[in-house]
Amino acid sequence: MNSIAILDFGSQYSQLIARRVREQHVYCELHPWDTPPARVLAASPKGFILSGGPASVYAANAPQIPAYVLESGLPVLGICYGMQALTHALGGKVAPAPQQEYGLAQVRVLRPNALLPPGEARVWMSHGDRIDQLPNGFASLAKSDNSPIAAMCDALRGYYGVQFHPEVHHTPSGPELLRRFVIEICAAAPNWTPESIIGESIARIRAQVGQQCVLSAVSGGVDSSVATALAHRAIGNQLDAVFVDNGLLRKDEAARVVKTFRENLGVCLHPINAIEEFMQALRGITEPEQKRRIIGEKFIRIFEEQAQKLGQPPFLVQGTIYPDVVESSAPDRAQGQRIKSHHNVGGLPEEMQFELVEPLRYLFKDEVRAVGEALGLPAELVWRQPFPGPGLAVRCLGEVTWERLERLRGADAIFTGELEAAGLLTMKPLTPALSRGERAGVRAGTSQAFAVLLPVQSVGVMGDQRTYQEAIALRAVTTEDFMTADWAQLPHELLGRVSSRIVNEVAGVNRVVYDITSKPPATIEWE
């Protein structure tokens, strides 16, 4: 198989390494560093990338490079801790740096090599240790003010290391560095394309379900729509789609979802009105994780009831994507910490009647969109902004009641409506021929924008009378991969107009604030 294996030593940037390799149209898999060798080698990788990590290689019980990596004879690229681990494993010396190096730095390339473009480059450093002595057979490739060995290589064995992080956008030459390693040094073919993803997904779905019938959970969002379209392409009339109106949708969304699916996907769709069931189950619940678990279990139980009416299909299609898996710290991401339970990953009940079919499980959001376009789905569906599986329950902080949901729906409709009128609601589709820098330069709009209802009441004045009402927070971000995000710098005039409309048109709201927090440290959603 044509792939790259990434071993995760606990870096906060590990998922970005995978994202950048995928940008080179090469498939990669991300594994905890101590994953059993057979599982890592099952994809027949062309090379290994070792991530950064918070440990020191000389500390007791520090993660080390598994023996099979060096025994494989394949090229290896160590990033930050990965470079130090490579040095330590091969007899070099790693020691605490006299001066730690965090943030932007300039590196100077010392000699021609297969990995680094010549000259000086701005890079992102994040380390407290450094290489004091190279292993035998290695040469220093670059230096910075605080890292005399900022990059190294043993070209004969195909071993490379960089002290900086090429995967983050603060290192502009990072994509070229990774391209050189993956394509030129590892000789991986750039054949990870939307068409190849579709072909492989169809084959996996058919192999998994055979001739049996399948249910698909649809919400009208990008992920569930693309997953359903893939399943329909694979098994046709074996698929029945179920849309559950749980009362947690945006304004007029239920009718729009039904119309879109029936007109564009040609899938047999079964709408279910379960508003009362969800409202009753969420009554009095304020803790975010408990909300997600309740919603996840309620969804599954409703699908099980529908399955009985449809002859008990044993499979359920879900639009789980890679960030869902990472943030929910699924068992195959042992290095990760649970950020939140996604209703279709960590929020599922332990016992259920279905075997899950998740064709998008290891795709990033923009890969999902590219697959959707290749499947011929309409642009308004493919480029629709993300919406959480648990719906407005995660944007209605505190208890979820119908009155508060209607309040939130009204505010959200005003915000997104004004953004749409200003041409700022969605990212514009971009041609694949554009470089990463060109894409960033022409991308317009917000990646995700929505309103949040806070369980906080504050004093206001309306019509010369004192009010004591709730607050709305507006959230809008820009991002490439949804693993990190920046807050959108929206025009002040637009924000002022949105605030004025909300307090005048939405009953029970007397204050509007704008969230200017990036991810990290915050998540995109508030719960």
Residue 402 to residue 248: CA distance in whole angstroms: 9
Alpha-carbon separation of residue 197 from 115, 147, 368, 375, 407 (angstroms): 28, 41, 10, 11, 41
Rounded to 5 degrees, φ, ψ at 87 are -60, -50
Task: Read off the DSSP letter of residue 485.
Answer: B
How far is Cα of residue 258 from the mean position of the Cα atoms in its chain?
27
Task: Read off the DSSP letter of residue 392.
Answer: G
Type of residue at 495: L
3-state secondary structure of 250: coil
Angle at 387 between CA 382 and CA 391, to 5 degrees: 145
510's CB contacts (< 8 A; 6+ apart) are 458, 460, 462, 467, 469, 470, 471, 503
Q: Is 186 a catalytic residue?
A: no
Compute, in degrees rounded to 10, the torsion defined by CA atoms 255, 307, 317, 523.
60
The partner residues of 462 in beta bridges, in order of sequence, read 465
CB atoms within 10 A of CB 435: 9
Residue 9 to residue 28: CA distance in whole angstroms: 16
Residue 34 to residue 55: CA distance in whole angstroms: 15
Which one of 25, 127, 165, 232 is the catalytic residue?
A: 165
Beta pairing class for 509-514 and 465-478: parallel
Burial label for 308, CB within 10 Å (0-12, 13-18, 19+), is exposed
Nearest to 37 by CA among 62, 15, 16, 7: 7
Which one of 167, 253, 358, 480 is the catalytic residue?
A: 167
Residue 436 to residue 23: CA distance in whole angstroms: 9
Which tokens hold the place of 451? Answer: 């309103």
How far is Cα of residue 220 from the mean position of the Cα atoms in its chain?
19
Q: Is 80 a catalytic residue?
A: yes
CB atoms within 10 A of CB 1: 9
What sections of 386-478 are H helices per DSSP? Answer: 402-421, 436-442
Q: Number of helices (H) and strands (E) in the chain: give both, helices first.
A: 16, 18
Which one of 80, 153, 186, 396 is the catalytic residue?
A: 80
Angle at 194 between CA 335 and CA 341, to 5 degrees: 35
Which amino acids are annotated catalytic? Answer: 80, 165, 167
